[in-house]
Chains A and B, each alone.
Chain A
Amino acid sequence: MDLIFEGILKAFHLIFTLDPEVLGITLLSLQVSGTATLISLFIGISIGTVVALTEFPGRRLVVSLINTGMGLPPVVVGLFVTIFLWRNGPLGFLGILYTPAAMIIAQAVIATPIVMGITLAAIQALPKKLRLQILALGATRLQMVWILVKEARLPLLAGVMAGFGGVISEVGASIMVGGNIKGYSRVLTTATVMETSRGNFDVAIALGIILLLLAYFINLVLTHIQQRERPR
């Protein structure tokens, strides 16, 4: 028990004294996952909206692929991003393997289907007649899409949070394409893995607490969104 107590005490000390290493790791985590989520928003929301609003042959297949993508195993993403960025790989010329940029790419690949799937569901969950109502108010097709996205903004925010939550807590891909290099590509999850294996439980617990707080904040927002009701 002492191990846990001491670990927690030390952890809080590290957090409240703004230990430079813990701080640096946290900031890099937010930066990498934040950027990856932002990229996934552009791709995920636009493609998700298009798939939700159009009828085309093979649509069911596309929808099922997107839904499968929502549960993409990070290690598989890590593996393929590594292969692509490998020196002899198709994108090897970029020379970005084992950099934060590689981690952003991997995390964006993980988050995009999550955002896309939630966007698809959110737009489809709007009353079908709402599209007719918007057109009947004189909207062009583009105006209609924009109004629908605005109407779905809360579930879309849920998509953002889910995407961000998925990548900030992900460890497999980050360690594979980022390499967990101290002060350069070390993030909360990869650092926790390493410190735990070294027996540095205090640091590991501090990092764990920060991750938990982030998870709690994300769920707070999600719960708030879920509890709201739609207008008549």
Chain B
Amino acid sequence: MTAPAPLLAVRELRVRRGGALVLDISSLTVEEGTILSLIGPNGAGKTTLMQTLACLIKPHGGEFFFKGENVFSSHGLLQYRRMLAMVFQEPLLFDTTVFQNVASGLKIRGMNGSEIEKRVGQNLQRFGIPHLSERSARKLSGGEAQRVALARAMAIQPDLLFLDEPFASLDPPTRESLMEDLEKILRQTTTTTIFATHDRMEALRLSDRIAVMNEGRILQVGPPDEVMNQPRDEFIASFVGVETILTGRVVRKGRGSFVASIEGQEVEAVGEVEIGEPVVFCIRPENVTLAVSPRQETTSARNVFPARITKIVLLGLYYKVHLDCGFPLVAYVTGHSLENLSLQEGQNVSASFKATAIHVIRKTRGPHPPP
């Protein structure tokens, strides 16, 4: 028995614009009922990828399977497009009532009136906007308008839903409540979703798998914790919130662990490497602990360094502390600890992090295998 075919599978998908290759996807699959996030900086190709998958952009090459069938040969393209829905960053509502907006995809499909009424009512309810039904789309707030846009997409009952940064232009409280509702609705309806965002927290929260994109390529795909904790290279590491990225060279190795020299300091990490090999260490700021006086460490697998605080920045609920240990290091501390330790810029402290908290990227591995 083979596993059921994924809902969507593409291979060697390429899009050129003005002669330049803007999208180059060697392989990507989306399993039915899952949520895949595409993250990456602006211009990484997230939108191009989604619009290509939605057949709004014609690719210049590649294979494209939906439910195991080749989209370009067996399905009619219109028939394929009618199994999809897409929501953009702008609500792009039509100049009519909310009801008519939500009904528009169904009307395009020639559905009968009573069925339309039922589906529209159900989706207005889901998104908490039945009271807006007869309101003109011109008289909605940003959050309301985006709810209408999402209801319009979900009314189609798509087999595959594309969300292109749907929260990007909303203020934080509006975004929060909408994301909460959307997450619930997507899980209840088990709608297969591809969700593009440049906000890794949004991606972490909503998705089953995350694909990191840059320059038209997918650099890494995997479950959120894997991408966050084991980024494959420095670009992914910095994008997923690893604040400290250090390069060094292996000087000694023991059983399962090794020591690398970084800016003249010796740092211990876990992994199988060769002596003399260049390595990159990724240290997440939440894994760095600060103490005012150096304490005696019982475990050998802990790196302790005297450090000087170079800068303290308030980041919402916690502080980001920049340290100089001979190499730069970043730690997050809560306001409570900052007060307790009475930390301030210029102060000398002791910074520590476990050898196991370091994600090691081996530089000699060569080009990436396909994700």
Contacts and interface: CB of A to CB of B under 8 A. Distances in A.
A128 to B, nearest CB: 10
9 contacts: A135-B81, A138-B108, A228-B138, A230-B95, A231-B91, A231-B94, A231-B137, A231-B140, A232-B137
Contact of B81 (A138, A151, A231): A138
Contacts of A229: 138
Interface string B44-83: 0000000100101000000000000000000000100110
Contact of A138 (B82, B137, B162): B82
A127 B92 contact: yes
A153 B96 CA distance: 11
B104 A137 contact: yes
Given A129-B92, A231-B138, 17 more contacts: A132-B51, A136-B54, A136-B84, A136-B85, A137-B152, A138-B82, A147-B94, A147-B104, A151-B94, A151-B95, A154-B95, A228-B138, A230-B95, A232-B93, A232-B137, A232-B138, A232-B140
B160 to A, nearest CB: 11
A130 to B, nearest CB: 5
B86 A230 contact: no
Query: Chain B CB within 10 Å — which of A135, A153, A154, A228 has the most?
Result: A135
Interface of B: 51, 54, 56, 78, 81-82, 84-86, 88, 90-95, 104-105, 108-109, 136-138, 140, 142, 145, 152, 156, 162
Contact of B138 (A129, A132, A150, A230): A230
B304 to A, nearest CB: 54
A231 B54 contact: no
Given A129-B88, A129-B90, A231-B94, A136 B81 contact: yes
Interface in A96-149: 127, 129-130, 132-133, 135-140, 143, 147
B108 A139 contact: yes
Interface size class of A (residues with CB under 8 A): 20 to 34
Contacts of A230: 95, 138
B90 A127 contact: yes
A102 to B, nearest CB: 39
A151 B95 CA distance: 6
A137 B145 contact: no
A136 B52 CA distance: 11
The 3 closest A-B pairs by CB, nearest first: A136-B86, A231-B137, A138-B82
Nearest to A229: B138
Contact of B156 (A130, A132, A137, A153): A137
A137 B105 contact: yes
A232 B93 CA distance: 6
A133 B137 contact: no
A133 B142 CA distance: 17
Query: Chain A CB within 10 Å — which of B85, B92, B145, B156 has the most?
Result: B92
B93 to A, nearest CB: 5
Nearest to A137: B105
A193 B89 CA distance: 57
A229 to B, nearest CB: 6
Nearest to B86: A136
B337 to A, nearest CB: 43
A140 B88 contact: no
A137 B108 contact: yes
B164 to A, nearest CB: 9
A135 B92 CA distance: 12
A153 B152 CA distance: 22
Contact of B56 (A136, A150, A154): A136
Interface in A190-232: 228-232
Interface string A151-193: 1011000000000000000000000000000000000000000
Nearest to B109: A138
Nearest to B82: A138
A224 B85 CA distance: 35
A156 to B, nearest CB: 12
B85 A232 contact: no
Contacts of B85: 136-137
Contacts of B105: 137-138
A133 B88 contact: yes
B238 to A, nearest CB: 30
A232 B51 contact: no
Contact of A133 (B78, B84, B86, B138): B86
Interface in A19-70: none
B91 A232 contact: yes
A150 B101 CA distance: 13
Contacts of B162: 136
Contacts of B145: 231-232
Contacts of B56: 132, 135-136
A152 B84 CA distance: 26
Nearest to A143: B108
Contacts of B92: 127, 129-130, 133
B53 to A, nearest CB: 11
Contacts of A135: 56, 81
Contacts of A151: 94-95
A140 B142 CA distance: 29
A108 B56 CA distance: 38
B88 A138 contact: no
A232 B90 contact: yes
